[in-house]
Structures are given as structure tokens and as C-alpha cells.
Amino acid sequence: MYEKLFEPVKIGTMELKNRLFVPAMSTLTATPEGASTEQFAAYLERKAQGGWGLIITEYFGVAPYVGFFPRMLGIWNDELIESHRKVTDRVHAAGAKIAAQISHSGRETFIAVSDENLVAPSPYMDVSGTKKPRMLSKKEIKEIVSKYGDTAMNLKKAGFDAVEIYAAHGYLISNFLSKYSNKRIDEYGGCLENRMRFLMEIVADTRAKVGPDFPILVRLSTREFVPGGLSMAETRVIAERLEQAGVDAIDCSQGIFTVSNNIVEPFRMDNGVFVDASEEIKKCVSIPVLTAGRINEANLAENILKAGKADLIGMGRASLADPDFPKKVQEGRADEIRYCIGCVQGCIGGNMRGENCHCLVNPELDREFELPDNPAKEAKKIVVIGAGPAGMEAAIVAKKRGHDVVILEKADQVGGTWNIACLPLYKGELVNLIKWQNDELGRLGVEIRLNTEATVDMIKEMNPDEVILATGGKPFIPPIPGADLPHVVQANDILLQNASFGKNVAVLGGGSVGVETAEYMDYCGSRTMIIEMMDDILIGLERETRLMSLDSIRERQIKVYTESRVTNISENSITFNRKGKDVTIDEIDTVVVAAGSRPVNQLVDPLEALGIKVTPVGDAKQVRNGLAAVYEGYMAGYNC
């Protein structure tokens, strides 16, 4: 069924067993000096065990302190080689090939430690920057070119099978390639021939140092999606020249950090949204072309290959969600795959918070080194109250460890409030999490009692050794005069279609629930506005999702009032205090409340009074996001 996916392919002299690869993704697990750690090695080894043909590591800086994040891999001296050789040995033993990406972040370099390396072809920061970079001299350019080649040579010594020169995403090389960032008037600026010079010198220096038989890949932003940025017409020329220079493969990406939703695409973007770019590049070169971007199902990947749009399929976040993706597909177990849902909460969202890369649907990710198999020393009776994502994850892990597990769920189906989270525009893919958890519980034989609201007497009669409380949270309406009027409704009731709404709607709350509900009602034809107490909306939302949400609000012309506290709701108007001034909006026929939720955990004290151990997880512990909820559910099952 998937003949193309599992067809061998060669990149230069490197032969891969299949056409599935893991693109470079940051984990922030290197030591401060740039060495590999056990955490990093276990993470990559786990992927290799899952059947991926090629794994491309996160970038190795060509010098200290040239990364976008505070921690990065490095191999700028011989002392660092051995730690990385241990990684390549383990990946090879597990059956995969491994390449290393090499980079200088240019004007996107992390400057909290030092701003010495905040450099660019021209002394201008991007709109998302905070400090102007320093313009590189010609002498410095030549020095950096040599550092790329030296880095590649050391990576070859460390046992890597190939290197990928990172010429994408607004980092230093792409700064030179793009008119958007390169304003030089010497031989490194101006026409495309000159703007390519830096990259071509790096390729030449790297080839000279690694020899003719060591594969070199280049990752390009085929289009930058900023005014005057790199275009597909220019990228086709760059790709042709790279092949002529002896590069063995082109890895297609797009975007720069300012529009990072085009680099790490959230659920708001279509699946396989950028494969047409790789198809364009394939028309220009005869070397293999790699593609990636929201490709998270095997049938999508197979179709892209059959259509001739690419030669290899990158499935970065799919590999985070399920490292065994290739193995499961090849063994006919695709129904067991944990699919990426595009939430970006744990991967790039975690990185941007300075955390290791994690995954909402796979709590083991980047924790492989500290979560060994943990069979129960003795089987316990575990009662899980609530069949939302946290409760189901707890039940899955506890059952796999050997416990007797029963789930009590008061609704007539599993999923909890996650079933509502799937309802806004663009978010249908989130249902894949609940689908996988429900199926996994069925495969494990876990008993789920639906339409069963847990009580203290019921739990006492069941006599469990431990209770995992996953009863979620409950939305609340703030104590505002008029909040009890019939046209004041909860956002969840709008999304569930349990409440109607009129043509002029005010939404109280500018978090993700409020914004998504406002978008939905606007899509249905209503004129909506958002009223938020804080000084901005969508605070704390992952950057990539937030960028697209804000674009949607602007396109839909949804009015937003920030720093506004609602003081009164009447039958046809709403009044709020904005920066010390009272504002009244008339002709409001529906008020939708999206003011947050509070934990539902009233069973904790009475159950503990009976001597029963109770572990609250997810929103029952503290209302947060799905990443925290699923992880807490996992750990409750792991430790019970």
C-alpha cells in the first residue's frame, strides 16, 4: 500500500532504507559547552528504533554563541567530537542514518549571553528583532565561511553520514540570499549572483574539507512571505547553482522568524501546505528534493511521492508525536499511530519558553532517558474519575504497567472538554488525540463506565487502592450586573450549538476560547467584538498560532477592546470601563462569556478522609492547557 514510502533512495553516496526523514528540530538538550547529552542521545536513538530512514539533528553552531536559542550543539574543537560520536553510534546501531545541520543564526542570534555574534550582511534588524545587528566585514565573512567547512569536517570525524547547510528561516545565510535583509553594495549584495556568493563559498569550502563522497544537503526557504523577500523564481536559480556546485540534495522549507507560522505550521494551516514548492524545485534539479510541512499521515506522504512532488518526506512533528510512525505504517498498524495535532504547545512553543522540546500527545518525548519501563511491583485497583485527555492518559499508562483500571465518566462519551476544543474553525484535527486514546484503551481492555457520575459512596464501595481525579474544570461567569440575563451565554454553549446568538455579539474574554468563538460567530454572519481586561489578547498562546489568529481578527475586522472591564450588561447594550473612561455599546443582542474556568475537584477532601489516595490531574488540579494535562495524567499513571 505504501510502496513509495519504503523504497530505498540515495543522497549522494548515502543510501537510505526508506524515504521518511526527520527534519531538524531544536530540543535544547545540549550541554552549555555544546556537547551531546544522554537525553539527546536517547531521543535520537528512540527515533531510529522507530524506523526513520534519515534523522537530521538540530543545528550545530559553527562557533560558540551563534544560536537562536541559548543552548545549541557544537563541535568547534576536538574535545567535543567524542560526545557526538556516541550519538551517531547509537543511531546507526538502531538502523538509521544521521545528518547534522550546521548554522549561524545571524541577526536572530540569542543575545542574552553576548551580542558579539549578532551580525548580518547589513546593519538592520527585522521587525521582530530587539537590537540592530552589526554589519559583517569581508574579512569576517571569509572567517565564517571557513568555520562552516571546519564544522562539517569535525562532524564527519564524529561519524555523521552527511551535513545539511542551514540556509533558511532568516538566519545568516538566508540573510545574505534575500533582498529583504541584504542591502550591501559590495560583491556580496545587489543582484542574486552576488547574494548567493556567501552560500556558494560555504559549499565550496565545505566540499573541499569533507571530500567528494560525503553528502552535503542545503535547506532553503523557497519563499520568505515578507515584502521583498526571497521568491520562488530566485530559489529555482539558487537550487540549480547548488547542484552545479556539487550539493547532493535540496531540503525545501519556507518563511523567516517574523512569519514563523510558515516554518512550524500550526493547525490553522492545511496539511501538506507547501509541497508545491518542492515540486517547483524538482523541475530545476536532478538531485533529490526533500519536503516537509504539516505532513502527518502516511497516505498524504505516499501521494506526494507518487505525484512526483518530492523525493523524501519530512515528518518532524509526526516523529515527535509517534517515533514509531514508520514501523507502524510498514507493519500495517497505522490505526495505532499517535498523530500530531498541530498544537505547537510542547515543541516550538516549549522552545520559545526556553524549555526542552516536548509533545502534547506524546509525554515521553525528550524524557526517554528518565522514563524507563516501569512495571508495577504489585497490581493495584486504580479508579480514574473523568475520561478527558488527562484521565485517559493516566488509565493507559497505569494499565500498561499492570494495574487493574476502571474509568468513570459522567458523560455519554469520552473526551471531556476536549470534545469542545475540537469545535472551533480549523481545529477538527484535535479529535485525533481522543480517537487514539479511546482506541488504545480498547486495545488494552480498560473498562470505561459512561453515564456514571462518581460519588463518594460509589468510590467507597469500589474500594480502590488509588483514585486519579481528572474531572476537569467548569467555566464561570463573573459577577457583573446583568450577567444573569437570558442573552448572556457561555462560549462552550455557542460552540456546542446549545445556545443561539444574534447579529451583534460581544465576547467577554480575549483568550483562545473567546477569540475562537468570536471567529466562529463571525464566520456564521454575526458582527462580533472582543472585550478583554488585559492589555492584549491571546497572551501566552504559542507564537505561531497567535500570529495566525491575529491575522484572522484583522481580516474579519473583529473589533477588540483591551484594558476594558465590563461593568454592566443590559437587555440591548454593554458598558465597560476602558482606561478610566466608561464606554457603552448599544444594539448588542448576545453576550458570550469566555472568562476562563475553575477546577472541579470537590471529591478530593471526602475521599482522602476515607484514607484513599487521590491524585488530581489536568484542569482538576489547575486550569492550564492540554500539554500540562496529558503530562500530568501520564505521570499519575506512571507513579501509581
**Mean pLDDT rounded to a whole number for the chain:** 97
Query: DSSP class of residue 589?
Result: -
Does residue 113 surpass a pLDDT of 80? no
CB 371, CB 350: distance < 8 Å: no
Give residues with Cβ within 8 angstroms of 430, minimum separation 6: 267, 341, 343, 418, 421, 422
The C-alpha atoms of residue 492 and residue 479 are separated, in whole angstroms, by 18
Q: pLDDT confidence of 1, banded at 50, 70, 90?
A: confident
Percent of the chain with pLDDT over 90: 99
**What is the pLDDT at residue 481?**
98
> Could you tell me the three cell numbers for 255?
518563511
Amino acid (1-letter code) at residue 550:
L
Query: What pairing do the DSSP bridges indicate for beta strands 134-135 and 119-120?
Result: parallel
Residue 114: its pLDDT value, please?
A: 80
Query: CATH homologous superfamily of domain 9-369?
Result: Aldolase class I (3.20.20.70)
Contact 468, 423 (CB under 8 A): no
Q: How far is CA 571 from the centre of its chain?
A: 43
Segment 95-119 mean pLDDT: 94
Q: Which of 261, 250, 325 is nearest to 293 (CA)?
A: 261
> Which residues are CB-contacts of 331 (< 8 A; sequence separation ≥ 6)?
none
| Cβ atoms within 10 Å of 568's Cβ, excluding its own | 15
Burial of 589 (0-12, 13-18, 19+ CB in 10 A): middle
Cell of 634: 501520564
**Other C-beta atoms lying within 10 Å of the C-beta of residue 94:** 18
Residue 410: CB atoms within 10 A of its CB come to 15
pLDDT for 135-163, tens place per residue?
Answer: 999 999 999 999 999 999 999 999 999 99
User: What is the β-pairing status of strands 162-167 and 216-221?
Assistant: parallel
218: pLDDT strictly greater than 80 = yes
> 323-350 b/e with 16+ CB inside 10 Å = b?
bbbbebbbeeebeebbbbbbbbbbbbbb
- Look at the alpha carbons of 313, 316, 321, 327 in this order and tell me if their dihedral is positive or negative: positive
- Active-site residues, by number, are 171
pLDDT of residue 148: 98
CATH superfamily of 374-470+621-639: NAD(P)-binding Rossmann-like Domain (3.40.50.720)
**What does the pLDDT look like over 187-215, one tens digit per residue?**
999 999 999 999 999 999 999 999 999 99
Residue in 259, 260, 106 with CA at minimum distance from that of residue 176: 106
Domain edges within the chain: 9-369, 374-470+621-639, 488-595
DSSP state of 336: G
φ, ψ of residue 539 in degrees (nearest 5): -65, 130
Cell numbers that stand for 518 in this block: 468570536
Kindly tell me if the per-residue pLDDT of 186 is higher than 90. yes
C-beta separation of 177 from 230 below 8 A? yes
Measured CA to CA in angstroms, residue 43 lies from 25, 57, 341 at distances of 12, 11, 20
Cell 440575563 found at: 485
C-alpha cell belonging to residue 487:
442573552
* Mean of pLDDT values over 526-554: 97
Query: Does CATH number 3.40.640.10 belong to domain 488-595?
Result: no
Residue given cell 507547501 in the structure block: 274
